[in-house]
Structure formats: C-alpha cells, structure tokens
Amino acid sequence: MTATTQPPVPFTREDYGARMASVTEEARRAGLDGIIVTPGPDLVWLTGYSPTAITERLTMLVLRPQQRPTLLVPALERPDAEGAEGAASLEVRDWADGSDPYQVARDLLNREGRFGVSDSAWAMHLLGLQHVLPRTSYRAITQALPMMRAIKDENELARLALAGTAADATYREIIQLRFEGRRETEVAADLARLLREFGHEQVDFTVVGSGPNGANPHHEADLRVIQHGDAVVLDFGGLMHGYGSDTTRTVCVGEPSEEVRKVHDIVRQAQQAAFEAVRPGVACQEIDRVARAVIEEAGYGQQFIHRTGHGIGVTTHEPPYMVEGEEQPLQPGMCFSIEPGIYLAGRFGVRIEDIVTVTESGGERLNNTDHGLAIVR
C-alpha cells in the first residue's frame, strides 16, 4: 500500500476575499442585487466556514455590491464563525435565541430587489425573508451563476488531483480482494475503508452493482451475494482535503462472457472518444454527444440512460453538466467526470468514469487506472 503525497497548501484569507469579490461582481453582472448563501458547499468555498451542525437556526452570508460581505450567525455559533479563515474578509453579525433572525436579516438586504439564494437554503428561511421583505424576489444560485465554482485555481486542482490519486489507489487495492461469495455491502465497506486509508476525510458513495444490480446506475450496495461470472460496477468517491473524487470501473468475477466483453469495450471507446474531445471552447453538450454517438453507433443508445458527466469540486456533483442543452464552453481549470455507461435491465451494467480537467490544449485525466476489464476473484 503506498501512501499518498503531502497535504496541500492551506487556502488563505486573501483566497476567500477574492472569491467573495468575484462572486459579488458576477452577481452584479447577472442583474442581481446580491447573493444569499446558507450553509453548504457555496459557503465553504466562499468563506471556509462550515457550521458543525446545519440546523433550523438561520446562518447566512450576504454579498452585495459596494458593501462589506456580512455573515449572519446564531449568537452561540459566533466564535466558530469568527474562527473560519475567510472571516477576516467579512463582518460577522449575530442574532440571539428569542429574537427574530429575519428582522435582523432584513437590515442586510434591500427593501426590494432580486437576490440569488443557495439551492439548498431551507424553505423556512426563504419564506421568512419573503415575509419581512415582500418586494424581494429570489433565484437559485446555480440558475443565476451556474459557473460560479466551475473554474478551479492551482490549489484546487492540486487537491482534486490528490483525491483522484487516492481513489486510484483504492481501486488498485480492491481488485486484489475477493468478490465471489461476498455481499455487495462487504465490498462497499472495503471501498470506504480504503478511501479513508488513502486520505479521504469523507466517503460520499460506494456503489457495488453486481450482476443485475449493475443495470441500475444509482444502485448503491445491498445484500446480494456476488456470483461467479458477474460484471460488477464499482463507483466510489468522497472528499479529501475538502475536494472530491469520483471514479468508476467495471470488473468481472472470473472469465467474462462474450457480451460483457463487447459491452465493456464499447463503453471504453465512448469514454476515450469523449476524453479526446475535451479542449477549451468546446460546448459541454458536445462531450455528451461524442460519447453518445459511439454507444448509439454500436446499437446501445437506448441503454445509455444518463448524462455523460458532472462537475466536481467542493462537492462530488455540481455544474457544469455534460448534457444535451448545456452550451457553456469548456474553459481551462474546469473539472468534471466523463462516465458513459450501458445498462441491460435485469442482467448487468457497465460504466467507466474518470475525472478530467481542461488544460490550455486539451484534457488531462485525474484518474489513471487501467480501463481494461479487470478479472477479479
């Protein structure tokens, strides 16, 4: 087992200050009067602040042009908030239990105007704001600013590369272990253990889709006992130093059937073709089209039942999406998955997934394990 490399350089208060400033400017250009960010990935990315528990108590960051960023927190969480690296670039305000947080929030916003709000803001908080500010309106941040976190800087790319390397190490270990006769959940537990051993602080998913279970792309793992001859989809990832990994390989328990080999080969070609299409200026949807064309050509178009990929960063699924209709052009520093698959209901599935980053001249894989069909015990 090889240990993975050194920890990344910490983000500085200047990093967070620059992110808040650029998002405020993007919001202004998008015609918004400001941005309201509640706890979750956007808040972590903008400020480094992640409340230990996300509760019914209102926490929100307000970004508005010509105004210092302000983080409103419950009084009891003030020390935690002030400890965040990004806190040096903002003003912390608090509200105490027994007072009305929306009345306090009201003073931070305009009486009227349009605001972007975190996708995952609790409905009760948005309703609370609308109640005290009836002439304001709101848009989801990913609708208003879909590319807000899409382009990664050097430090973010280094973290994504470390997470990818750890996921690769996990794959190289898991294929040495026994599959036949064990439950999917046991193999999934091994994947989670390995991800942590190789440095992940959080495991988000450990898909083990054996035989017919592999035909459901979002099957996680259940009590099915893995059989000889099964194709097994392994899709796993989580966070390391705050940045995501997400990789998929499909393996076979013993000699694969002719059909498993054939389907695997088509998916491998589709993944490769899509990877080769990556370069700045190409629309996201083009990546999907290229992968889909290979699979359609081979006669399995109806069995490729999801988009080709998703962005990755401080979360394992985020914009940009490699999907028909997404016309955003690829830009250097974007990171996303390329994960075509073929799903034969009731029988088996095959998916191959790498995280890819866009460079000045093309694409670079952050996952580098072999794409061949591995035979496991």
Amino acid occupying residue 137: S
- 136 versus 337: smaller Cβ distance to Zn ion: 337
Cβ atoms of residues 40 and 114 within 8 Å: no
Q: How many CB atoms lie within 10 A of CB 300?
A: 21
Sort strands 341-344 and 348-351 into parallel, antiparallel or unpaired: antiparallel
- 190 versus 353: smaller Cβ distance to Zn ion: 353
DSSP state of 11: P
Question: How near is the Cβ of 309 to Zn ion at its closest, in Å?
Answer: 7
CA atoms of 207 and 199, how far apart (whole Å): 19
Question: How near is the Cβ of 312 to Zn ion at its closest, in Å?
Answer: 7
- 61 versus 207: smaller Cβ distance to Zn ion: 207
Question: How near is the Cβ of 236 to Zn ion at its closest, in Å?
Answer: 7
How is residue 1 written in tokens?
């087992």
How is residue 239 written in tokens?
């966070």
- 156 versus 353: smaller Cβ distance to Zn ion: 353
Question: How near is the Cβ of 207 to Zn ion at its closest, in Å?
Answer: 7
Question: How near is the Cβ of 337 to Zn ion at its closest, in Å?
Answer: 4
Query: What phi, psi does 166 have (nearest 5°)?
Result: -65, -40
Q: 154-174 and 184-197 are packed helices; what angle lies between their axes, rounded to 10 degrees? A: 140
Residues near Zn ion (CB under 5 A): 235, 246, 248, 337, 353
- 107 versus 370: smaller Cβ distance to Zn ion: 370
CA atoms of 148 and 26, how far apart (whole Å): 8
Helices (H) and strands (E) in the chain, counts: 10, 18
- Of how many residues is the chain composed? 377
- 246 versus 318: smaller Cβ distance to Zn ion: 246
Question: How near is the Cβ of 316 to Zn ion at its closest, in Å?
Answer: 7
Q: For 252-269, give the secondary structure using H, E and C.
A: EECCCCHHHHHHHHHHHH
- 95 versus 321: smaller Cβ distance to Zn ion: 321
- 288 versus 353: smaller Cβ distance to Zn ion: 353
Residue 105 vs residues 44, 70, 154: alpha-carbon distances, Å: 20, 10, 35
Question: How near is the Cβ of 166 to Zn ion at its closest, in Å?
Answer: 15
DSSP state of 151: B
- 140 versus 305: smaller Cβ distance to Zn ion: 305
Cα 305 to chain centroid distance, Å, stands at 20
Cβ atoms of residues 49 and 84 within 8 Å: yes
Query: E strand or H helix at 207, and its extent?
Result: strand 202-210
